[in-house]
């Protein structure tokens, strides 16, 4: 291109002042246009290269997100228990509303049964008496092995507005737990021990069925026989209050060790040990194992559909397996529904039968070791799904799976319980006590006392929102960013390569045709020049024609040589 400019200078240089002035202007104009085009192409090339780099970086960032999964890293960091962490504070003082709903069995034919007129006890379900459980974990100590130790606290607060008109001062006819328990324990003692107890019973006129308030039966039941009973069975009991719920919620001296998730994030919040042991002492290994169980505040993370879960509450006197029975959507979250595994396995001979030759009927669990030696046994509410023989001595129980079944609705990714109902019934499983005064009619029967359920109806709104962010929004956002980075990077890279190709073709296209067209351009300019000079009478026609041919012929030859040289260079570059 610069050679053509030199030819142009030769063409218009020196001889004629008018031509020289016009030539300098044209030369400057050509130089400016040439430099402008070169500058634009260079800028375009730089932008294209910049976008190539950005495209590659975008693709690499998307691949990196796929490999390291930043959402998983954030989630594991958030779930791990550490001082001040969000999930730890939620576990320390759960903001959920957990309720204990209690139904008492009121005896409606006490006189008829005691007189022998009626052969069966007639019972009436009275309730619910609803209490809110203010669960917290206190005196927390972080250990060096990826666990922490805490003291659980479960104070109860009566909620009258949820109790459907029932009040704690409701007067009912209920079993005399003190008398029946002492009679059960002493019935195998020596004759003289039984004689002394019978004299005491008659002297104090103790009756097996007594009138008391609902609160007394659950929390504040005192009986002179309890203190006098220590004369016959020293060190049997060390308390005076025999309220059934009060004893069930006796956590004095209890402490638990739970996993922080430092070694295995799935275990964060699960029980490692109870009172310093991986098993409760009432059962032999492995039946008493509680390691890996949940107290209901949270379950393992990343739950698989075929995975069994483990649930432990002290009042149930054992840890029980949960099995998945259904899928559902709760509070907008895809969740798994769990039930207790085979509710009729509570009397498994290898685990939960103290006397292998005289095990309890199906569905009845002997838990006297958990209740101070009292003849307490657990079953399903209304004996739902249990051996029909358990209803042989009572009328008024009406099992209903909709009302009396347990279930757990759990979000599987986080292990968060969305809704739960864990229900059980407390009974007295009395043996032959015919040798004890006033209680002969209660020999060899299962006497229902109350049934209760732990109930959580749902999560608070702000917890649901946080769970939505962590479980649903962030994973989608991560996927969108990852795929957008890869796809966007590919598009940017493709467009940048296409742009670079266009710039290269444009350079070649601009260079070759300009050389080709140069002779025609110069011929036109010379023709105009010749016409201008002729009209101005500066040169005659012959002089102009001679001058024209003397310039254009060598110019055409030189342009042809330049074009041939340019073609040779392109051919060499292609090869």
pLDDT tens digits for range 68-102: 777 777 888 888 898 888 889 999 999 999 999 99
Look up residue 435 and give its two tokens.
Answer: 């040798």
Query: Look-up: residue for tokens 């504040």?
Result: 220
Q: Which long-range contacts (CB under 8 A, 24 or more apart) does 434-438 make?
A: 435/187, 435/194, 436/183, 436/186, 436/187, 436/194, 436/197, 436/198, 436/201, 437/197, 437/198, 437/201, 437/202, 438/179, 438/201, 438/202, 438/206, 438/207, 438/208
pLDDT of 390 above 50: yes
Give Cβ neighbours of residue 245 (< 8 Å, ≥ 6 apart).
100, 102, 156, 218, 219, 452
| pLDDT tens readout for residues 475-528 | 888 888 888 888 888 888 888 777 777 766 666 655 544 445 555 555 565 566
Judged by average pLDDT, the poorest of 30-34, 80-84, 201-205 is: 30-34
pLDDT of 293 above 70: yes
Helices (H) and strands (E) in the chain, counts: 14, 18
Judged by average pLDDT, the poorest of 152-166, 180-194, 536-550 is: 536-550
pTM: 0.76
pLDDT of 27 above 50: no
């Amino acid at each position: 291109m610069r050679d053509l400019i030199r030819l142009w200078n030769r063409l218009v240089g020196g001889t004629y002042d008018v031509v020289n002035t016009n030539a300098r202007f044209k030369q400057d104009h050509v130089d400016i246009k040439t430099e402008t085009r070169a500058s634009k192409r260079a800028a375009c090339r730089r932008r294209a290269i910049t976008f190539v780099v950005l495209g590659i970086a975008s693709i690499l960032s998307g691949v990196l997100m796929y490999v390291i999964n930043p959402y998983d890293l954030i989630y594991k960091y958030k779930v791990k228990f550490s001082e001040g962490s969000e999930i730890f504070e939620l576990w320390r003082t759960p903001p959920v509303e957990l309720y204990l709903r209690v139904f008492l069995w009121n005896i409606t034919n006490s006189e008829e049964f005691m007189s022998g007129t009626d052969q069966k006890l007639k019972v009436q379900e009275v309730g619910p008496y609803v209490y809110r459980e203010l669960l917290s974990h206190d005196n927390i100590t972080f250990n060096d092995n990826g666990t922490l130790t805490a003291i659980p606290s479960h104070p109860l607060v009566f909620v009258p507005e949820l109790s459907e008109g029932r009040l704690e001062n409701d007067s009912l006819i209920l079993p005399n737990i003190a008398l029946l328990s002492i009679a059960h324990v002493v019935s195998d003692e020596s004759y003289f021990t039984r004689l002394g107890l019978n004299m005491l019973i008659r002297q104090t006129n103790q009756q097996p069925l007594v009138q008391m308030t609902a609160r007394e039966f659950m929390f504040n039941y005192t009986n002179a026989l309890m203190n006098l009973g220590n004369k016959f069975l020293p060190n049997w009991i060390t308390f005076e209050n025999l309220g059934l719920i009060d004893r069930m919620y006796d956590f004095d001296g209890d402490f638990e060790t739970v996993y922080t998730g430092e070694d295995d994030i799935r275990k964060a919040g699960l029980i490692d040990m109870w009172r310093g042991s991986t098993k409760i002492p009432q059962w032999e290994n492995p039946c008493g194992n509680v390691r890996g169980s949940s107290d209901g505040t949270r379950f393992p993370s990343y739950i698989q559909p075929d995975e069994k879960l483990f649930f432990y509450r002290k009042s149930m006197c054992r840890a029980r397996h949960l099995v998945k029975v259904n899928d559902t959507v709760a509070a907008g979250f895809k969740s798994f529904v769990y039930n207790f595994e085979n509710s009729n396995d509570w009397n498994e001979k290898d685990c939960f039968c103290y006397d292998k030759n005289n095990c309890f009927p199906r569905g009845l669990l002997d838990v006297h070791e958990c209740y101070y030696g009292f003849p307490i046994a657990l079953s399903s509410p209304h004996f739902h799904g249990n051996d029909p023989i358990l209803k042989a001595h009572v009328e008024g129980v009406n099992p209903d799976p909709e009302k009396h079944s347990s279930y757990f609705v759990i979000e599987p990714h986080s292990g968060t319980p969305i809704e739960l109902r864990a229900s059980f019934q407390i009974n007295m499983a009395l043996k032959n006590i015919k040798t004890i005064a006033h209680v002969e009619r209660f020999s060899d029967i299962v006497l229902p006392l109350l049934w209760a359920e732990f109930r959580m109806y749902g999560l608070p709104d702000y917890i649901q929102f946080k769970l939505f962010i962590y479980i649903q929004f962030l994973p989608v956002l991560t996927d969108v960013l990852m795929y957008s980075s890869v796809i966007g990077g590919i598009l940017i890279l493709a467009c940048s390569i296409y742009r670079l190709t266009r710039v290269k073709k444009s350079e070649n296209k601009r260079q070759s045709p300009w050389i080709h067209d140069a002779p025609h351009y110069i011929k036109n300019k010379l023709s105009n020049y010749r016409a201008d000079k002729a009209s101005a009478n500066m040169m005659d026609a012959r002089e102009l024609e001679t001058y024209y041919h003397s310039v254009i012929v060598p110019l055409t030859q030189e342009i042809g040589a330049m074009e041939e040289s340019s073609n040779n260079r392109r051919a060499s570059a292609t090869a």
